[in-house]
Structure 1
């Protein structure tokens, strides 16, 4: 006998967050099924992705239609196979209107969850208006959506507390895990140049030849760097280091890393004072507005391990009480 709340999650393939979302919804009673609409699983498929999509895009060609064609076929097949009662679409800007029409024709309640600012997606207001419920991690986007007549709700990111991650040795270094942006590179370079032990992880930082090929070559900063980490090892790395940096670009939403670093019990140095909406500065999280302030905060952590340990404990407790993906799943469930 089929479950009454069969949920299909249509998600991009990004650090297996689809698995995390599915586990969170299962915790609150849903039978979950996932489909990665942009996945290229095998090596031949990944090579095809480079040739068909990434290379033309680097040459200035618009591949929107091709990406929609690829995503459309798989998403429609998943809808017809799973026959869900509910659908959650994550980001979804490459899904063809046919997918949304299929969902509507079947009378399936659907929520679109945006975990990036809309300006960095292909979404336009006229397309968003026809979606019954839109959630976003960006409070500013939600405000703008509502002014445009879009049914929008604010749902931030969260921590996957269900994920098991390995134990490892404590390493007295400052870590950064994520893409390479100018602001991040400038801060890490400054810290490294002043004698701090730093290490950044990700394909854009790595000097490994495999990562150079994956990212079409290019120069790398002369900084200690590691390859991409899966989420389990990223969690362990943040927990086991002296402190981890959370540096934003032109974002108003807070990334997963904000809640993950706090959730694993890391000392998090965040470059945004408005993180106080979620964590209490100097008690659960450390903030900085300049590289000088970042250096001062790191020096405090080095000088007073007891104080730093209390911050770790409070950050983890606050996250488990308020900011897990299960909390976010409950918020999404109210929107169907």
Structure 2
């Protein structure tokens, strides 16, 4: 696809798919597309604040629904103003059925990347048929069930990494002391993890992340009293740990190593950083990584054995890490996933509409876009927004753009549609 697209990425209010949505937006921007975010998390505190009213469920429920209706009106307003070629929603994005129906009626293409376990989160049954494309991280029997529900366009799209963010770091001595450990884990305290990790208590083991409340055996290992860890800091933690544990979550405790199918984002992110990991074996893992790229375990006993083995064999840890990083950079980046998704949408829904009249960008404007870290498909609005964040003396091109923006505001009104900076 040679022409840049206009893509609205709708983020969830909170949750594990939130950073994935941001990675998708960054990848699409790097690919030269004009990207706008519906940044739902900025409304999260207001949404949760409704609970402080101490209302009974019969009163709180309608209030929460009304709040979500306002968010949907905001999404539709952005669609009307931005005129995207595609609305891409991440799992649990606050797009309701009525909004999806309106988008379909208006001819706006929609896609969701459902980065959830279909057996745990079942809202897909009501929403999947309303999207033009419903990408998933699992295969059968999920895809068969989607067809039965009325969604025939459900490509398998595994997770990925963002190499410019998930990268090897050189840590300071202070950072190494704070984050470093023989064994590290970052994630929520699911029941299977609590039980599997308890035999490691007393070792040089640091646990980072939330939902470890009431865990007495592992309490000395839990860092910062179980506070949430941001994405930036997580990269430092992964780089500092000699062995990163990567046990996929499970609510069940009868089998701590579940041998499930989907592969979590941590697997790709750790590999992209060149950080060593021990990951529980998953059914879909062999088609993503080779045996000599990831060190896997099938049981708790094998996990403990391999921890001891790899702590005493640093050269083998380095070899695994190097090969895993090479595989991610070659095949498992968010830019590759986004291109695969866009190609599938075009295949399922027909070619992308012809771009508006194209003009050749003059060299000064090309240089300005590069300076602002924007792609050639950046909207006029995005260029103005970035310019207003800059400081210093304005160039002739910058002055002209800001003057044009002021003219547009004064004479065309706040509801005018923005021009688009495109290339020939």
TM-score by length of 2: 0.67
SS in 2 for 1:249: coil
Higher fraction of strand: 1
- Label 1:160 to 1:101 Cα distance change in 2 as closer, same or farther (>3 A): same
Kindly provide the CA deviation profile for residues 264-314 of structure 1, in whole angstroms up to 9, marking residues without a partner as x: 111111112432221223x21111122211111111111111111111111
What is the CA distance between 1:144 and its match in structure 2? 2.4
- Contact in 2 for aligned 1:88/1:113 (Cα 8 Å): yes
Are the equivalent residues in 1 in contact too, given 2:97–2:130 (CA < 8 A)?
no
Secondary structure of 1:8's counterpart equals: strand
Tell me, yes or no, if structure 1 residue 225 matches structure 2 residue 222. Answer: yes
Unmatched runs of 5 consecutive residues or more in structure 2: 251-259, 346-424
Who is 2:288 aligned against? 278
Residue 256 (structure 1) shift? 0.8
Quote the residue 2:147 is aligned against: 146
Residue 135 (structure 1) aligns with: 135
Counterpart of 1:204 (choices 211, 218, 223) is 211
Q: Deviations over 1:211-242 (max 9, x none)?
A: xxxxxxx5233241223221122122112211
Q: Over aligned residues, Cα RMSD in angstroms?
A: 2.8
Q: Secondary structure at the match of 1:40?
A: helix
Distance 1:234 1:31, change over 3 A: same
CA separation of 1:49 and 1:117: change in aligned 2, threshold 3 A: farther
2:165 to 163, 166, 186: 163
Measured after TM superposition, the shift of residue 102 of structure 1 is 2.7
Distance in 1, Cα, partners of 2:165 & 2:128 = 33
Say if 1:92 and 1:112, in contact at 8 Å, map to a contact too: no
Q: 1:19 to 1:52 in 2, by over 3 A?
A: farther
Contact 1:190 1:291 in 2 (8 A): no
Give the alignment partner of residue 331 of structure 1, picking from 340, 347, 361.
340
Distance 1:288 1:119 in 2: 23
- Structure exhibiting the larger radius of gyration computed from Cα positions: 2
In structure 1, how many angstroms separate the alpha carbons of the residues matched to 2:308 and 2:19?
A: 35
Does residue 120 of structure 2 align to residue 120 of structure 1? yes
State the partner residue of 2:95. 95
SS in 2 for 1:88: strand
- Cα separation, 2, equivalents of 1:173 and 1:164: 21
Cα separation, 2, equivalents of 1:278 and 1:303: 27
Q: How many corresponding residue pairs?
A: 314
Contact 2:238 2:270 in 1 (8 A): yes
> 1:99-118: per-residue Cα shift (whole Å, max 9, x none)?
21232132112111100023
CA positional deviation for 1:52: 6.8
Tell which deviates more after alignment, 72-81 or 302-311.
72-81
CA distance in 2, matches of 1:67, 1:41: 10
Q: Structure 2 vs 1, CA of residues 136 and 49 (structure 1 numbering), >3 Å: closer, same or farther?
A: farther
Contact 2:207–2:221 (CA<8 Å) still a contact in 1?
A: yes
Give per-residue Cα distances to partners, 1:41-69, cap 9 Å, x unaligned: 66xx265155379x978xx9798735643
Name the structure 1 match of 2:106.
Answer: 106
1:290-329 equivalences in 2 (<5 Å): 290-329=299-338
Contact 1:28–1:326 (8 Å) recurs in 2: yes
Tell me the distance in 2 between the aligned counterparts of 1:101 and 1:88. Answer: 15
Report the CA distance shift for 1:135/1:52 in structure 2 as closer, same or farther (over 3 A).
Answer: farther
